[in-house]
């Protein structure tokens, strides 16, 4: 009885193993090629779901059905006008014929290597066949002038092809070479372009020189404006001082006139008060003009002598 159980278990295990090797599940993002002893059998299968195959004889090769990424290497390439630049590119591609893809390339790793040869080669040919302006610009347009100093910038030369057109040319020629590979390149773009080091240094030096020229122009205009402001300040200051001096003199004149009027009025009203005032003023003059070491030689007709004589 136990032997029968063991036999049943073995049969069930064999049946499950046979069933497992006969079935495979295809995801909606995948497509497969069924091979027998390394050679493809039948047509590619792209419909998602549960599929059958001959157990132990057939093998399933899975391929991605989604858009795939290709990232090119950074290569140094000369342009038509002998400008050496570094070009960095990228592209998107897909497997359109899994059977042809398997026959020619076998797997995605081989496909990436083949695309390296095709796209890098077409990129070199396109860059070498066009001038630098055509590679970095897509259209002819006048530079936008946002500052006055930019009015002196020279008008840009017109381009004959343009960057977008060159990318399309590379894409078209690359697809012509991938028809028999079972793949299609969907999009191709220049990711980055830059001068080689020595050319970039010269470009930077020229840019620095141009910016220094513009800075010198600004400084010169600023210094001229500063001198103009300084001149206006000196002129306004002199005018203000002149008017202030004139007004001060007028005030002094009015004050002296008022003082004279008050002296005359007091003199006319009270002669005795006037004598007292003259005496006090003379004494103030003595106090300010003489000290212990002062010697005076005065006339007998002077006011000083008159008061001194009265003191004696």
Question: What DSSP state is assigned to residue 180?
Answer: G
Domain count, the chain: 2
* Nearest residue to 120 (alpha-carbon basis) of 164, 76, 168, 79: 76
Paired residues of 64 in beta bridges: 30
Spatial distance between the Cα atoms of 186 and 90, rounded to a whole number of angstroms: 11
The count of other CB atoms within 10 Å of the CB of residue 15 is 10
101 and 186 in a single domain? The answer is yes
Report the chain's C-alpha Rg in angstroms.
54
Give pTM, 2 decimals: 0.59
Instruction: Mark whether 46 and 95 lie in a shared domain.
Output: no
181: CATH: 3.30.479.30
DSSP 8-state class, residue 159: P
**Do 31 and 149 sit in the same domain of this protein?**
no
Q: Please write the tens of the pLDDT for every residue from 220-241.
A: 888 888 888 988 888 888 889 8
Residue 277 lies in a domain: no
Strands 84-95 and 75-78: antiparallel
Structure tokens at 199: 């050319």
Q: What is the pLDDT of residue 303?
A: 63
**So what's the pLDDT on residue 254?**
85
> What was the pLDDT predicted at 263?
73
How far is residue 130 from each of residues 109, 141, 159, 248, measured CA to CA in Å?
Answer: 32, 19, 10, 82
User: Structural domain of residue 131, as residue ranges?
Assistant: 68-195
Residue 270, pLDDT score: 58
- Pair (120, 81) in one structural domain: yes
20 phi and psi angles, rounded to 5 deg: -65, -40
83 and 39 in a common domain? no
Q: What's the rounded Cα separation, in Å, for the pair 212 and 202?
A: 15
What is the number of other CB atoms lying within 10 angstroms of the CB of residue 29? 10
58 and 167, same domain (yes or no)? no
Among 40, 64, 88, where does a domain finish?
64
Domain boundary among 147, 180, 195: 195
Q: Give dist(CA 140, CA 137) in Å, integer.
A: 8
Residues 73 and 23 in one domain: no
Note whether residue 212 is domain-resident: no
Q: Check whether residue 189 and residue 118 sit in a common domain.
A: yes
**Tens-place pLDDT, residues 262-290:** 777 766 665 555 566 666 777 777 666 66
Is the same domain home to 134 and 24? no
Residue 191 in any domain: the answer is yes
**Quick one: 78 and 57 in the same domain?**
no
Ranges of residues in the chain with a pLDDT under 70 are 1-21, 142-156, 266-279, 286-292, 294, 296-300, 302-312
């Amino acid at each position: 009885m136990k032997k029968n159980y063991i036999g049943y278990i073995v049969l069930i295990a064999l049946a499950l193993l046979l069933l497992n090797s006969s079935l495979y599940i295809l995801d909606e993002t995948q497509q497969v090629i069924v091979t027998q002893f390394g050679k493809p059998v039948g047509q590619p299968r792209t419909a998602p779901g549960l599929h059958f195959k001959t157990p132990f004889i057939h093998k399933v090769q899975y391929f991605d059905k989604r858009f795939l990424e290709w990232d090119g290497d950074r290569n140094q390439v000369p342009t038509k006008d002998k400008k050496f630049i570094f070009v960095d590119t990228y592209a998107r591609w897909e497997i359109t014929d899994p059977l042809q893809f398997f026959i020619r390339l076998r797997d995605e790793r081989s496909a990436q290597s083949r695309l390296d040869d095709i796209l890098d080669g077409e990129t070199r040919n396109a860059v070498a066949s066009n001038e630098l302006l055509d590679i970095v610009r897509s259209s002819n347009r006048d530079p936008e002038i946002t500052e006055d100093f930019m009015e002196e910038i020279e008008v840009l030369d017109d381009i004959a092809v343009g960057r977008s057109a060159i990318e399309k040319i590379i894409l078209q020629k690359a697809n012509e070479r991938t028809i028999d590979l079972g793949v299609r390149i969907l999009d191709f773009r220049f990711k980055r372009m830059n001068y080689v080091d020595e050319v970039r240094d010269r470009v930077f030096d020229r840019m620095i020189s141009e910016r220094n020229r513009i800075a010198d122009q600004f400084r010169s205009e600023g210094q001229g404006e500063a001198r103009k402001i300084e001149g206006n300040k000196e002129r306004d200051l002199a005018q203000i001082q002149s008017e202030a001096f004139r007004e001060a003199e007028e005030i002094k004149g009015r004050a002296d006139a008022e003082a004279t009027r008050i002296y005359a009025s007091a003199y006319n009203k009270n002669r005795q008060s006037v004598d007292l005032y003259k005496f006090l003023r003379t004494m103030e003059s003595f106090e300010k003009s003489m000290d212990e070491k002062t010697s005076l030689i005065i006339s007998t007709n002077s006011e000083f002598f008159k008061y001194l004589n009265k003191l004696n």
